[in-house]
Structure 1
Amino acid sequence: MNISRFKYTPVGAALINMVTALVVYMLSRVVFFLVNWSTFAPYMSWKLAGSMLHGGLVFDTSALLYINALYLALTLLPVPCKEKPGFYQGLKWLYVLTNSLGLAANLIDSVYVQYTGRRTTMSVFSEFAHEDNIASIIFGETCNHWYLLLVMVMMVAILWICFVKPREGVWGARWHYYVLQVVSMLVVAPAAIIGVRGSATAGTKPITINNANAFVNRPIEGTVVLNTPFTLIRSIGHKAFADPHYMPQEAMRRAFDPVVVPRPDERSQGRKNVVIFIVESMGKEYIGAYNRHLEGGRYKGYMPFVDSLVKRSLTFQYSYANGRKSMDAMPSVLSGLPMMVEPFFLTPATLNDVQGVPSMLKPLGYYSCFFHGGHNISMGFNAFARDIGYDRYVGLNEYCRSKNPAYHGMDDFDGKWAIYDEPFLQFMLDNVNQFRQPFVATVFTASSHEPFHIPDKYKGVFKEGKLPIYKSIGYTDMSLRRFFERASRQPWYRNTIFVLVADHASLSEHAEYKTDLGHYSVPIIFFTPDGSLKPAMRTDVIAQQTDIMPTLMHLLGYDKPYVAFGCDLLSTPPRDTWAFNYNNGVFQYMRGDYMMQFDGQRVTAMYRFKTDPLLRHNLAGRVKEQAAMEVTLKALIQQYMQRMNHNELVVRRR
C-alpha cells in the first residue's frame, strides 16, 4: 500500500488529524507567548526556546490524546458498520468540536494568565460558581481581545479543512480489514498510553502539571510549556494537600512550628480599633515611595495619597503577597494561612476550624464587620467572613437597600464586579461611625479589578500610562483619600490601627515586577494616627500577608497561643522574618538575602534577590544558607499539609 492510499485508511487518517491538531495547538502556544511577550521575551534564549518546544510537544501530545480518546477509539474500532455514510462526517464534528474547546481554553488563558500567573485548573469552576455576571464578563473580554477571536476562527478552520476521512475499500479484501484494524489498535493503544504518560520509561509516573518546570528556568515560563486542556484534565479530582513526609514529626516541629505563643510587650496598644483595607490589585509598583530608584529617580507612581500615607506609616521595602488571586488574600491577611497548591476556599479544608482576627478579638469585646461591594455571595467572601467570626457582612445587597440619597444603588455598580470604590467606602464609613468601640472593620475594594472601569465623571481625570490599570488604581487612591479625610474627623479615628495591603499584584510595566518574585510584590502598611507606631520604611525585614494577623495580635495585647504561618513583625528579629508563596508548582521561600525555589523534591534555584532583583544569577548549590533554608521550607510545607488534612488550624484548649 503506497503512502497516498495509507492516509485514507483509518489509522492513516487518524495520524494525520492528530498531527494537524498538534500543529494548531503549538500555534496557540505561539499566540500565548506573543500576547505575554514582555513577560517571557527578555529571558528567552535559543536553548530555552528549544526546551520549551520539547516540553510543549510532550504536554500537547498528552492533552490531545485525552481530548481525542473517543475520536481515536471510534476511528480504529474494527467493525465494518463504520463504512456507512455519515459515520466519518459525525467523527469530523466530534474531532473539530472537542479540539476547538481546548483551543478556546488556551487562548482565554493567554489573557487570564496575566492575573493568575498559572494555567487554569478545575478550581476555576468553584471560584466563579456564585458569580452571576460571568456571561457579561466573557462577552466584554471577547470584545476587548477581538483579535484572539479571529485567531480562534482561523485555527478552527484549519482543523475543519485539513481533516482527513478514511475511504471505503482501501484495505483491499474484507479479511485484510479486520486483521489490519486489529493490528492498528494493538500498535496505537500502547503508543497512546506512552503519549498520555509523557514517557516510555518503565516505572515513571504520568506527567503532572509540576513537570513543566523541568523544561524552563522560571516557574512562570511553565505556563508556556503547558496547555490549558492538560491542566484542566489533570486537576480533576486532584487532592490539594498531600503530606510529603519529608521528616519525622519532632524534626518538623524543631525546624518550623506555626504555633505562636505571645509574649507581653510594652508596645502593645490595648483595645484599639482595627480597620483593614484589602485593596484590589494594589501592586507595590504603583506606589512611588517603594520605587525611588526607577526611571532615574523621577518615578512618582499612580497613588499619590497612599504615597503620602506611607511617609506616616510603618511599612516594608520587601513585602509580598502569599497568592495571586483575590480569594487567596482573605485567609492570608486575616487568618495567617498562605495559599499552597490551591486556594483555601476551594478545598475541603474550608470545613476545618479556623481562627481569624475577628474571632480572636471577640472575647476581648470587639464588634466586627466585613465590607465588600460585590454581590453578597461573590468569591466566597461572605462564607469565610462568617467562618472566622465577623458579626456582620455588608455587601452590594445592603448598599442597594440604603435610603441615603447620596447612594444610588445599582447605578453605582461598575457593570462587572461591584459598587465603585468611592461611594462604597463612604457607605462603609457611615456604618463604621455607628459601631461601638472597640471594633474590627475590614473592606475588600474592587474598582482596580480588571476590566478597570471607573465612573464616567472621572474619565480623563487620573494619570494614565501604558497599562489600563493605572487610571483605576488612581481612582481607588482618590477613594481612599476621601475616606481618610472624612474619617479623620470622627471620634474613633485616633484610637485606630489602620492596615493597608493588596490582595495581590497585577499588571506590570517595569522588569523587576515581572519576575517570579516581582509578581508577588505588594505593600503592607500599618498606620496609627496617634503616632504610637513610629513611621519607617523597614529594609531589614521581610514581610508577607500572613504576618499581618500576628503583628496585630501583638499590638492589641492578645495573650493566647494561635496558629499562623507568619510572624509578628515587631518582635521577631529581622534575620528570622521570611516570606512564602506558591508559584505555578514551585514553592518560593525568602529569608535573609536569598530567595529559594523548590519544586517539592529539590532546590531548583537560589537568588540573592535584594541585589539581583531581576533574578538572573542562579546560585543553587553555591551558598551555605541553602541547606538550612531547605529544611525549614520542607518543615513549613509538611506542617501546612498535615494541619490542613487533620483539622489542626487552631490551638486546642486543654
Structure 2
Amino acid sequence: MYFVVIIDIGFRNLNMITRVLWLLLYGIGWTLWLQFNRCIFLIYQAAHGTADLTLWPDIMLHGLRMDLSVAGYAGLLPGLALTFLPSRWLPGFFSRYTSLLLILVSFMTTIDMEMYRTWGFRLDTTFLRYLKTPTEALASIGSSPLEWLSVVLIGLIVLGLLFFNRLNHLAFVLLRPAPRWSFVPLLGATAALIIPIRGGLQQIPMNVSGVFFSPVAFANHAAINPQWNFIFSALEKSDDQTNPFQFLPQHVANQAVQSLYPTGSQPQSAGVLNTPRPNVLLIVWESLTAKIVSPVGGRTGVTPEFDKLCREGMLFTNYYASGDRSEKGLVALLSGFPAQPLTSIMTVPQKSSKLPTLARTLREQGYQTAFYYGGETEFANIRSYLFHSQYDRIVSKADFPPESWNSKWGAHDHVVYNRVLTDLGKQKAPFFTTFFTLSSHEPFEVPMPTAIPGKSEEALFLNAHYYADKSLGEFIAQAKQQPWWNNTLVIIVGDHGHRLPHIGTNKTAEFHIPMLWLGGALKKPGVLDQVASQTDLAATLLHQLGIESTAFRWSRDALAPVPESFAYFAFHNGFGFVRPGRALVFDNDARQIIEQHGTVSDTDLKTGMAFEAVSVGDYLSK
C-alpha cells in the first residue's frame, strides 16, 4: 500500500513538472514561430529591393530578445490555465487560444510587411488612423500586391496551425491531474514570464532601442517585432494626432513663431573661434542646474572646478533647458528640437528619425563622431536616436567593467572620462565627440569620500555634483596636455535643470542652466548674457563652423544680433517663456499664468502659447 501511495505521489509530482516543461516548450514554440515570421518579412523586403540579406544573422539574433518578450505575453494565459483549469479542459483551451492568437499574429505580420515597404517603419497604431476614413484607406492600398499578401497570410495561418497542432497534441498525451499544491510552482513559473516580457533582469525594461545594433536603419527596423511594437505604440498613444494646445488661430500662432526667427539670410554672428574646423567635444552634464554654479548666481563651493573654468572660457549666463528630462535635453541640444509638454519625441523612433542631428551634419562635413555614456543607451530609446544620428561609435555601460558601475545606472564619470581621454588620443581629426555624464543622477552614489556632509537628498545631490565637478576638472587638466587640445572646442552644458537645491524654487530657476565654451580653439574668454535655449546650440555651433543650419528649424544663433532674445521650455502640461528681464510660466490645465518675473505682457503670453502649439504640431506631423 505504501509503495502504491509513493508511486502515485511520484506520478503526480511528475505531472506537475510536465506542466512546467510544457509551458516552457510553448514559449519556445512561439519564439521559433516569430523568428520564422521575421524570415518571411526579410524575404518579402528582399523581393522588393529594400533588404540587405548579409545582415540576416545579426537581425535574427538581435530580434530574438523582442520575440521572447512576445512569447512571454503569449504564455501568460496558458500558464494560468495550467495552474487552475482541470486537465480535461486544457487541450481544448490550448487549441482554441493558440488558433485565435496565431490568426491575429499572422494578420499583423502580413500588414507589417507591406506597411514597412510602403512607409518605411514597422507596424504600430498609425494604420488605425486611416480606418476612420475607409474610402481613403481602400484607396491607399490600391497599389499593394493584395494577391501575394493574401497568399502569405493564408500560408502563415496554415503552416502555423500545423506547427502548433503538433505542439498542442502533446497536451493531450502528457497533461494529467497534478497535486493540489502544484498551483504554487505553476503560478511561480507563470509569474517568471515577466523576465522575458521586460527583456531581462536589467534596470531599464526593454524598449524599441533594445534591439538596435547597426548604423543601417533597415537592420534595426527588421529586428523589431511588429506585434510588440504595435502594443507598445498603443500604450504610448502615439497615434493621437490632436493638438491639445491650439489656443490661438493657426495663422496667428504661425506668425508669432516666425517673428522669433530671422527671415531671409541669417544675421552674421561674431566669430569666437581661431580655427575654421576645430574638433568639438560636447559634455552634457547630468542635472547641471545654475543653482549650484556661483558664476551664474548659484551656490558657492559645489562646482569649484567648473567655476574656475568659467573664467577661462565663454560663459552663457542666461541659458535655459528645453525640457525636464534627459532625453528631451539631448534632442534639444543635438537636434535643436524643443521639448514637448506631454511626451518626448525620442521615445517615438519613427518621429525622432526624421530630426536633423549635429552628429549627422558634422559627419557629412568629414567629422569623426562618437557618443559616450556610462549607462544603458536603451533608456528612453536613446540608442535608437543615436543610430539615427549616425554616430560612428557608441560607447556605453557594457563597454566598462562591472566594478566601475554604481549600484543603479552604470560606469562612474571619472571612468568614462578616462576612456574618452584615451580614445581621443587615437581619434582622427576633426572629431565631434559627445559625452553624457550620469553620476549626478539619482541615487547620487559617487566613489569618493563625502565632501558635502549630510544624509538628506539635497546633501547627496550636492555631493554627487561635487564629484562630477572633480572628475571634470581632472579631465580638463589632462586634456590640456594633449596634442588635440589647441584645435578643440569644449562645450559643457546641462541636460536639464533640477528642483534641487531648494533655493530659487520656482519653475524658471529649475530650467536655468549654464553653458560654457572653452578650449584651445576659443579666441578669448567672455560672458554672454543674451537669453538662449538648448535648442540654439545647433545653429550657434554650425555658424561658427561655417555650416548651414536651415535644417534645424527651431534653432537660433545665440551669438547673432537679434531685436530681443528668448527661451522656451516645457514641462508636464505647461510651458515657460523667457525674455530679457522677464519670464512667465503657463499651466495648460488651468489655462493661466502660474508664475511670472518682471513685467510680462500679453504679447509674451501669446507668443509662448503660439510656440507651444506650433512645436507640438510639428511633433505630431512627423
- The one-letter code matched in structure 2 to 1:344 is I
Distance 1:486 1:130, change over 3 A: farther
Q: 1:476 & 1:443 partners in 2: Cα distance?
A: 13
Q: List structure 1 segments (4+ residues) > 6 angstroms apart after TM superposition.
A: 128-131, 233-238
Deviations along 1:260-295, one digit per CA (max 9) or x if unpaired, are 754555616421111111111221112222237xxx
Name the CA distance, whole Å, in 2 between partners of 1:531 and 1:467.
Answer: 35
SS in 2 for 1:390: coil
1:527 aligned partner: 518
After TM superposition, list the pairs within 5 Å mapping 1:350-389 onto structure 2: 350=351, 352-389=353-390
Displacement of 1:606: 7.5
Paired positions, count: 391
1:320-368 Cα deviation digits (max 9, x unpaired) = 2111122211101111112112122224653551111111122211111
Aligned counterparts of 2:397 and 2:245: Cα–Cα separation in 1: 42
The aligned amino acid for 1:281 is S
1:459 matched to 2:449? yes
Q: Residue type of the partner of 2:338?
A: P
CA contact (8 A) 2:243 2:616 kept: yes
- Give the structure 1 partner of residue 288 of structure 2: 282
The structural deviation recorded for 1:252 is 3.9
What per-residue deviation string (whole Å, max 9, x for no partner) do you get for residues 285-316 of structure 1?
A: 12222237xxxxxx523111001011122223
Q: 1:493 to 1:626 in 2, by over 3 A?
A: same
Partners of 2:323 and 2:519 in 1: CA distance: 27
Q: Is the 8 A contact 1:241 1:644 kept in 2?
A: no
CA distance in 1, matches of 2:586, 2:499: 25
What is the identity, as a one-letter code, of the residue corresponding to 1:134?
Answer: Q
**Could you say which residue in structure 1 is the equivalent of 2:319?**
319
Alpha-carbon shift at residue 235 of structure 1 (Å)? 7.9
Selected match of 1:428 from 420, 426, 440: 420
**Matched-pair contact (CA < 8 Å) for 1:587–1:599:** yes
- Cα separation, 1, equivalents of 2:542 and 2:432: 12
Deviation of 1:422 after TM superposition, in Å, equals: 0.7
Alpha carbons of 1:245 and 1:507: their partners in 2 closer, same or farther (altered >3 Å)? Answer: closer
Aligned Cα RMSD in Å? 3.2
Residue 539 of structure 2: aligned partner: 550
TM-score w.r.t. length of structure 1? 0.55
Offset of residue 569 of structure 1? 1.0
- Please, which of 586, 595, 598 is the counterpart of residue 598 of structure 1? 586
Provide Cα deviations, 1:574-618, integer angstroms capped at 9, x if missing partner: x52211122332221112322223344886227652x6xxxxxxx
Q: Secondary structure at the match of 1:468?
A: helix
Structure 1: which amino acid aligns with 2:510?
Answer: H
**CA shift in 2, pair 1:240/1:504, >3 Å:** farther
Matches within 5 A, 1:130-141: 132-134=201-203
Provide the rounded CA distance (Å) in 1 between the counterparts of 2:204 and 2:364: 44
Partners in 2 of 1:422 and 1:504 — Cα distance? 21
1:631 equivalent in alignment to 2:619: no
Partner residue in 1 for 2:82: none
CA shift digits 1:479-522 (9 cap, x unpaired)? 1111111111111112111111111223523431x112122122
Change (3 A) 1:239 1:313: farther
For 1:565, the aligned partner's letter is W
- Structure 2 length-normalised TM: 0.57
Question: Where does residue 578 of structure 1 map in the other structure?
Answer: 566
Deviations 1:523-561 (A, max 9, x none): 11122334415322x33x112211211211121111252
d(CA) in 2 for partners of 1:562, 1:449: 32
Matched, 1:568 2:560: no
1:256-405 to structure 2, matched below 5 A, reads 256-257=257-258, 262-263=266-267, 265=269, 267=271, 269=273, 270-291=276-297, 299-341=299-341, 342-347=343-348, 350=351, 352-399=353-400
Amino acid at match of 1:576: E
Q: For 1:106-125, what aligned pairs fall within 5 Å after superposition? A: none
Tell me: CA distance 1:264–1:626, structure 2 relative to 1, closer, same or farther (3 Å): closer
Counterpart residue number, 2:465: 473
Say whether the 8 Å CA contact 1:502–1:522 is kept in structure 2: yes
| SS of equivalent to 2:426 | coil
* Conserved 8 A contact 2:532-2:565: yes
- Give unmatched runs, 5+ long, in structure 2: 1-193, 206-233
- C-alpha separation between the residues in 1 aligned to 2:483 and 2:277? 15
Task: Give 1:224-243 correspondences, 5 Å limit.
Answer: 239=240, 242=243
Structure 1 residue runs without a partner (length 5+): 1-124, 137-232, 293-298, 400-408, 612-622, 648-654
1:131 Cα deviation after fit: 8.6
State the one-letter code of the partner of 1:488: K
CA 1:283/1:240 → structure 2, altered by over 3 Å: closer, same or farther?
Answer: farther
Q: What does the per-residue CA deviation read over 1:158-200, in whole Å, with 9 as the maximum and x for residues that have no partner?
A: xxxxxxxxxxxxxxxxxxxxxxxxxxxxxxxxxxxxxxxxxxx
Using the alignment, how far apart are the partners of 1:266 and 1:281 within structure 2?
A: 29
In the other structure, the counterpart of 2:620 is 645
SS in 2 for 1:353: coil
Partners in 2 of 1:511 and 1:519 — Cα distance? Answer: 9
Shift of 1:237: 6.9
Q: Once the 2 structures are TM-superposed, how far is the Cα of residue 476 of structure 1 from its aligned partner?
A: 0.9
% same residue? 21
What is the distance in 2 between the residues matched to 1:446 and 1:131? 22
Q: CA deviation at 1:377?
A: 2.5
